[in-house]
């Protein structure tokens, strides 16, 4: 109760020359919404930034505040919803209202080679943009599956899929650290090709 909260929609964060775009669900009520930076000050951010650090995408393993010195190298973080949703699950209309921001980020990130969608809502949101931006309409439609990789087409980014590193997923064992880190190592390896 003594903290000052950002309490506004959150912009993306990271390297404008990113080759990796990480798309999450929405800012956490007491994470990004408090700190003013996506994936900052909560357990999901702890998992994400530690994995980015271990695979060379960040200069430090933690993300605690907007002024903590975190810099991303070749990576950019964003979400399909820009405000913390009630019950941690945005309504379809909330996601739809925020997708133009993600669409604009995709247009600005000209060196993008990989998109990592964290969770089913981020996956579905990104696919809806891929349909309009990249004319990506495969049959059958890609399915959400942790560790899946989809080609969007020649000269377009690849789509990687992972469970969201929420407490629900990490504390129940649905997502282990080994499985999580493996996704980032695979991404790093892919970018080195």
Q: What is the mean pLDDT of the chain?
A: 94
Q: How many CA atoms lie within 13 A of 134 on its CB side?
A: 21
Contacts of 150 (CB under 8 A, 6+ apart): 138, 142, 158, 159, 161
- Are 63 and 40 in contact, with CB atoms under 8 Å apart? yes
Q: What is the mean pLDDT of residues 105-118?
A: 96
Residue 87 predicted with pLDDT over 80: no
Q: What is the per-residue pLDDT across 31-54, written as a single tens digit (0 to 9) for each? A: 998 999 999 999 999 999 999 999
Residue 117 predicted with pLDDT over 90: yes
Cis peptide before 140 (omega within 30 of 0): yes
Give the predicted TM-score (pTM) of the model: 0.95
Confidence class for position 1, pLDDT limits 50, 70, 90: low
Question: CATH fold of 13-192, please?
Answer: Uracil-DNA Glycosylase, subunit E (3.40.470)
């Amino acid at each position: 109760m003594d903290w000052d909260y950002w309490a506004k929609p959150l912009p993306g964060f990271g390297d404008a020359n990113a080759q990796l775009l990480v798309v999450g669900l929405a800012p956490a009520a007491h994470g990004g919404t408090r700190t003013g930076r996506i994936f900052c000050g909560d357990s999901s951010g702890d998992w994400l930034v530690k994995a980015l650090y271990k695979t060379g995408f960040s200069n430090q393993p933690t993300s605690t505040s907007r002024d903590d010195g975190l810099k991303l190298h070749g990576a950019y973080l964003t979400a399909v919803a820009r405000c913390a949703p009630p019950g941690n699950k945005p309504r379809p209309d909330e996601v739809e209202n925020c997708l133009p921001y993600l669409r604009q980020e995709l247009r600005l990130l000209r060196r993008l080679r990989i998109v990592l969608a964290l969770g089913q809502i981020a996956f579905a949101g990104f696919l809806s943009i891929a349909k309009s931006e990249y004319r990506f309409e495969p049959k059958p439609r890609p399915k959400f599956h942790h560790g899946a990789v989809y080609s969007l087409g020649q000269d377009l980014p690849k789509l990687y899929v992972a469970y969201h590193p929420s407490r629900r997923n990490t504390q129940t064992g649905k997502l282990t650290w080994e499985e999580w880190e493996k996704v980032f190592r695979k991404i790093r390896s892919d970018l080195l090709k």
